[in-house]
Structure formats: structure tokens, C-alpha cells
A and B are shown apart, each in its own frame.
Chain A
């Protein structure tokens, strides 16, 4: 119990003293995870909608694979991306290993299935509702997907925020491909892992509290900007 209280105290102290290292780490966490969410949403949302609207031969298999990929262990993704980006790997010449780009790529791979799967479920229900209307109005395939994405935006926002939650709290993959290099690729989660390994449990817990506060702040900001959870549910 003492440790937990000390952790909260540490978190509070870190925040009010504007510890520059902490803010650097927070900025890197946000940069990596928000970028990953942006890219993963750009892929996952249309993919989810496309899967909901189209009937094709491997559809069920694709959806099953997508759902299975949601449970992909981040460490495996990290290893996979490491092998791709390593100087000895196929994309080694790009020199992306141990950079924020590498962390973004790994997180995109981790959260895209999640975003696509959740948005697929939401869009599938909406499509069942809109199907006759959109067919009747002669909407093209692209127009249908656009209408579903736009009208399903609240559910899709949830999918996106779920992706963000998974990205900001992820440590296994970015540790491997980012290296947790101080002042370069260190983010909140890898800093927590580092402090834990040093036995600085209270400090690590403090960083954990900061991480949660950050996630809550981002969620509230986005809900605030989008006006969700205020207007009636539609």
C-alpha cells in the first residue's frame, strides 16, 4: 500500500515539477501512438467497411484471421518488424531500426487488425440497416462505404480509441524495434519497464499513473472535439 501511495506521489511530483525528461517521453509516446493510430485507422476503417459490404470467397476466412490477429503478441510483431528492418533484413537499407518510424510501423501492425475488426462489426450492423436504402438509391460501392464510414463515425471513433489504448500501453514490440534509447526512442512504457528493472518500483508506478492520465486526457479531448457522449445516441 505504501508503494502505491508513493507511486501516486511520484506521479504528482513529476507532473507539477515539469520534469523535462518526462515531458520528452510523453511527447514521444504521443507522437508514436497517435501516428500509429492515424495510419492504422486509414487502413483499418475502410478495410472493416469493405469487409462488411462485400461478399467474396475468402471473406469468412479473412475475418477469422483478422480477429485472430487482434490477439497477436506484440513481442512477436516486434521480432517480425525487427527482422524486416534490421540492416541484414529486406528493408535494412532504409535505416529505420531504432527510430520512431520503426515503432510506428510495429504499432500499426498491432492495432490495424483491432481497428479493422471493431469497425467491421459496427459497419456490418449499420450496413444491415442501410442496405435496402443505399441499393435503392443506386449508390456505388465507394459511395456506400463512404456513407457507412461517415454515419458510423461514432462507433469508428470507439474503434480508433481502442487502437490508441492498445498502442499507448504497448511495450513488447517497441522495446525491440525502438530500443528505448534515451532522448530518442524512449516512451512511457519502455521507461516503466526500465525503472522496474532498476527496482525503482514507486517511480515506475508513478510513470504508470502518468500513462493512464495521458490516455484519459486523450480520450476526453477526442470525445470533446467530436461532440460524442453529449448528443443523443444516433
Chain B
């Protein structure tokens, strides 16, 4: 698996289409007093936070604390009700340079190969080239033997690996993941973590929500602890895991029920 890091890095770099050298970076991302509401009810916010250019951010917090809503808000799937979300680039360009992996992978009714190639086709990449790169990616995530199987019949772990390849093939500068390993067994989880670490090594900024404390410790470089729809505590992973500052984070880390 160690050689994967190198190839993944090239994969991410390939995504930088127009003049990679002179291109403006997408990050940092700054949220100021950001709020999301649904039918008047406050889901999360106000949230103030800044995502720097590199790192692996783990978003933690009890159920209903707003992890998914925060990820969707940053990615643009959830409408902003108040405050601002500012990328380092204009919104339309920023939308094209990010990707999202859902908790329950959404499988298109296509073959594995065509599913992975789809984001490239959306950008106007010629079909043959898109297929070739998709085949490449399928091999990298361990789906090389399933190229022509219909995506919806894959196992849970295979589906999530497909979703990862599909998210990474466009070379996003930032990748959001919403509990991608929920309901997966240990082996599938480990394979996915390897892919993520390789992607990060290739320069992709990663923001991932998870419930799995062990996974958080293995992957995080920084932590966002959400509680009651706000960022309750945040900081470098080392410090957070060693000594959470707030009683809620401490209780959560100790496996107590936090509501």
C-alpha cells in the first residue's frame, strides 16, 4: 500500500487543470456567524471557524449536534440562513474544486467504471479518457475486478470505496466525508482510511465527521467538537485527545452519554 501514496498524489495533482502553478488556492475557508435553519428552526450556528490550507479535520459530537449540517453547509448543500461563508475564491469556482462523500453512498444505476468516470464527464472530459482514468482509480481503491458490475449491487464497503474514487477522481482541493465508515467492518474501514491518508499526503484537505473514537485518533490533525449546534471546542488533535477543555467534550471522550 505504501506505493499508493505516490500515485494518489499524482491523481490529485492531475485534477488541477488550468495552470496548476499560478492557480489561486481554494483555502482558507472562513465561516462567520454562519447559521442554518429549516422552517425557521435553528439547526446550527452561529458558527465561527477557519479551515486552513492543509490538515485532516475530524468533526465530532453527539447525535444531533449538527455534524452533518455543518459539512453540508460548508459544501453548499445546505442553504446558509445568516452569516457568511467565504472561500478564498469566488463561489462558482470554489464549488467545482470540492467533493463530498455521503454517509449512505448514493449509487447511480451504472457500472462501477461509468460511476467513477461520471464527474469527469460532467466537466467535459472525453469519454475514453474519463473511462481510462476511472479504471485507474478503480484499481487504486481495490475495485479493479468489479469494473463492469452494476454499482447498486456492490457490498457496503465496495460502495463506499466507489464513492471515494468518484469523489477523488476530479482532484478536489477539499474533501468532505460524513461518517463514511459507519456500518462497515474493520477491514473495509482500514482500507478506506488508507485511501484517505494517501489522499491527504497528495495534498487534499480533508474534513470528516465520525463517531469512531479510534478512527478519530488515527486520522485527525485537528478536531472540531460540536455541541448543541455550535463549535463547542476546537484545536489540534494532540491537545484535544490528551486533555479536552470543556466538560462536555471530556464526558463525550469518556464514552458518557452527552445530550
Direct contact of A and B (CB under 8 A): yes
Tell whether, in the assembled complex, residue A129 and residue B150 are in contact, meaning their CB atoms are under 8 Å apart. no
- Specify which of A132, A147, A152, A234 is in contact with B102 (CB 8 Å cutoff): A132
- Specify which of B108, B150, B152 is in contact with A133 (CB 8 Å cutoff): B108
A139 and B121 CA atoms in complex are apart in Å by 10
A129 and B102 CA atoms in complex are apart in Å by 12
CB neighbours (8 Å) of A133 from chain B are 102, 106, 108
- Specify which of A132, A136, A154 is in contact with B99 (CB 8 Å cutoff): A136
CB neighbours (8 Å) of B122 from chain A are 137-139, 143
- Specify which of A130, A132, A234 is in contact with B152 (CB 8 Å cutoff): A234
Tell whether, in the assembled complex, residue A130 and residue B106 are in contact, meaning their CB atoms are under 8 Å apart. yes
Convert A128-167 into 0s and 1s, putting 1 for each residue whose CB lies closer than 8 angstroms to a CB of B. Answer: 0110110111110001000100011010000000000000
CB neighbours (8 Å) of B106 from chain A are 129-130, 132-133
A154 and B102 CA atoms in complex are apart in Å by 26
Question: Is B15 an interface position by the 8 A CB rule?
Answer: no
Question: Is A231 an interface position by the 8 A CB rule?
Answer: yes
Tell whether, in the assembled complex, residue A151 and residue B109 are in contact, meaning their CB atoms are under 8 Å apart. yes
Q: Which chain B residues numbered 65 to 119 have a C-beta less than 8 Å away from chain A?
A: 75-77, 95-96, 99-100, 102, 106, 108-110, 118-119
Tell whether, in the assembled complex, residue A137 and residue B118 are in contact, meaning their CB atoms are under 8 Å apart. yes
CB distance from B126 to the nearest CB of A (A): 16
- Specify which of B96, B102, B108, B150 is in contact with A138 (CB 8 Å cutoff): B96
Q: Which chain A residues numbered 182 to 206 have a C-beta less than 8 Å away from chain B?
A: none
Question: Is B153 an interface position by the 8 A CB rule?
Answer: yes
A232 and B150 CA atoms in complex are apart in Å by 9
Tell whether, in the assembled complex, residue A232 and residue B99 are in contact, meaning their CB atoms are under 8 Å apart. no
- Specify which of A132, A143, A152, A231 is in contact with B150 (CB 8 Å cutoff): A231
Interface residues on A, range: 10 to 19
CB neighbours (8 Å) of A136 from chain B are 75, 77, 99-100
Take A130-B108, A132-B77 as given contacts and tell me if A232 and B153 are in contact as well, using a CB distance cutoff of 8 Å. yes
Q: Which residue of B lies closest to A140 (CB)?
A: B122
- Specify which of A129, A130, A138, A234 is in contact with B153 (CB 8 Å cutoff): A234
CB neighbours (8 Å) of A132 from chain B are 77, 100, 102, 106
Convert B143-172 into 0s and 1s, putting 1 for each residue whose CB lies closer than 8 angstroms to a CB of A. Answer: 000000011110000000000000000000
A137 and B100 CA atoms in complex are apart in Å by 8
CB neighbours (8 Å) of A139 from chain B are 122
CB distance from A45 to the nearest CB of B (A): 16
CB distance from B96 to the nearest CB of A (A): 6
A135 and B100 CA atoms in complex are apart in Å by 10
Tell whether, in the assembled complex, residue B109 and residue A234 are in contact, meaning their CB atoms are under 8 Å apart. yes
Tell whether, in the assembled complex, residue B150 and residue A147 are in contact, meaning their CB atoms are under 8 Å apart. no
Tell whether, in the assembled complex, residue A147 and residue B153 are in contact, meaning their CB atoms are under 8 Å apart. no
Convert A93-135 into 0s and 1s, putting 1 for each residue whose CB lies closer than 8 angstroms to a CB of B. Answer: 0000000000000000000000000000000000001101101
CB distance from B177 to the nearest CB of A (A): 12
CB distance from A7 to the nearest CB of B (A): 43
A134 and B152 CA atoms in complex are apart in Å by 16
Tell whether, in the assembled complex, residue A151 and residue B110 are in contact, meaning their CB atoms are under 8 Å apart. yes
Tell whether, in the assembled complex, residue B108 and residue A147 are in contact, meaning their CB atoms are under 8 Å apart. yes
CB neighbours (8 Å) of A135 from chain B are 76-77
Q: Which chain A residues numbered 215 to 234 have a C-beta less than 8 Å away from chain B?
A: 231-232, 234
CB distance from A157 to the nearest CB of B (A): 13
A231 and B75 CA atoms in complex are apart in Å by 36
Q: Which chain B residues numbered 39 to 76 have a C-beta less than 8 Å away from chain A?
A: 75-76
CB neighbours (8 Å) of A231 from chain B are 150
CB neighbours (8 Å) of B109 from chain A are 151-152, 154, 234
CB distance from A48 to the nearest CB of B (A): 17
A231 and B150 CA atoms in complex are apart in Å by 10
21 contacts between A and B (CB under 8 A): A130-B106, A130-B108, A132-B77, A132-B100, A132-B106, A133-B102, A133-B106, A135-B77, A136-B75, A136-B77, A137-B122, A139-B122, A143-B122, A147-B108, A151-B108, A151-B110, A152-B109, A231-B150, A232-B150, A232-B153, A234-B151
Rank and list the top 8 A-B pairs by shortest CB-CB distance, nearest first. A133-B106, A151-B109, A234-B152, A136-B100, A234-B150, A234-B109, A137-B119, A138-B95
